[in-house]
C-alpha cells in the first residue's frame, strides 16, 4: 500500500531564508507527483506537477525535485516571504489520476 510521509510536520523560519520541504513515498510505481499549497480554511492550489519521467520542475522561487528510485521529492523555496506561510501538501499520482496525499508541512515565515 502506498504511503506518503512529509517531514517536518511544522517549520518556522525567518523571512529571507531558503528552505526545503521533504516528501517520501513507499511505492515507486507512480505516474506523477504534485505539490499543493493550502491556506487556512481554503482549498488546495497546485504549485508544481512533476511527470514521472522528469527530475525537477521550477516555477518562480519554487523548485521541486523527484527521485522515483529512492521514493523522495523535495520542494525548495528560495528567499521565503511571510506570504509563503501555509500548509504544503505533496501527493503522488497513481493510475487514473488518483492522488495519495501526505499529511502536510505547516510553514510559518516570520517577518
Partner 1 sequence: NAGVTQTPKFRILKIGQSMTLQCTQDMNHNYMYWYRQDPGMGLKLIYYSVGAGITDKGEVPNGYNVSRSTTEDFPLRLELAAPSQTSVYFCASTQLHRDRGTDTQYFGPGTRLTVL
Contact code string over 71-100 relative to partner 1, x by CB under 8 A: ------------------x-x-x--xxxxx
| Pairwise CA distance, residues 96 & 25, whole Å | 18
Determine which residue in the list 68, 88, 92, 104 makes contact with partner 1, applying CB under 8 A.
104
Task: Count CB-CB contacts under 10 A for residue 6.
Answer: 21
Cell 504534485 belongs to which residue?
Answer: 34
CB of residue 46 to partner 1, shortest distance in Å: 5
Please say whether the beta carbons of 34 and 49 come within 8 A.
yes
Question: Hey, what's the cell of 5?
Answer: 510521509
Determine which residue in the list 33, 92, 102, 109 makes contact with partner 1, applying CB under 8 A.
102
Question: Hey, what's the cell of 20?
Answer: 526545503
Task: Return the number of the residue (55 or 79) whose C-beta is nearest partner 1.
Answer: 55
Contact code string over 41-60 relative to partner 1, x by CB under 8 A: -xxxxx--x-xx--------
| Pairwise CA distance, residues 52 & 73, whole Å | 11
Interacting residues with partner 1 (CB under 8 A): 4, 31-32, 34, 36, 42-46, 49, 51-52, 89, 91, 93, 96-104
Amino acid at each position: 500500500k502506498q504511503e506518503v510521509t512529509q517531514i517536518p510536520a511544522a517549520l518556522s523560519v525567518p523571512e529571507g531564508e531558503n528552505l526545503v520541504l521533504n516528501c517520501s513515498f513507499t511505492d515507486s510505481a507512480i505516474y506523477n507527483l504534485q505539490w499543493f499549497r493550502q491556506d487556512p480554511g481554503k482549498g488546495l492550489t497546485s504549485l508544481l506537477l512533476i511527470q514521472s519521467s522528469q527530475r525537477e520542475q521550477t516555477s518562480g522561487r519554487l523548485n521541486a525535485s523527484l527521485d522515483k528510485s529512492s521514493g523522495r521529492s523535495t520542494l525548495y523555496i528560495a528567499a521565503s516571504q511571510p506570504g509563503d506561510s501555509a500548509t504544503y501538501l505533496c501527493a503522488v499520482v497513481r493510475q487514473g489520476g488518483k492522488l495519495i496525499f501526505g499529511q502536510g508541512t505547516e510553514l510559518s515565515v516570520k517577518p
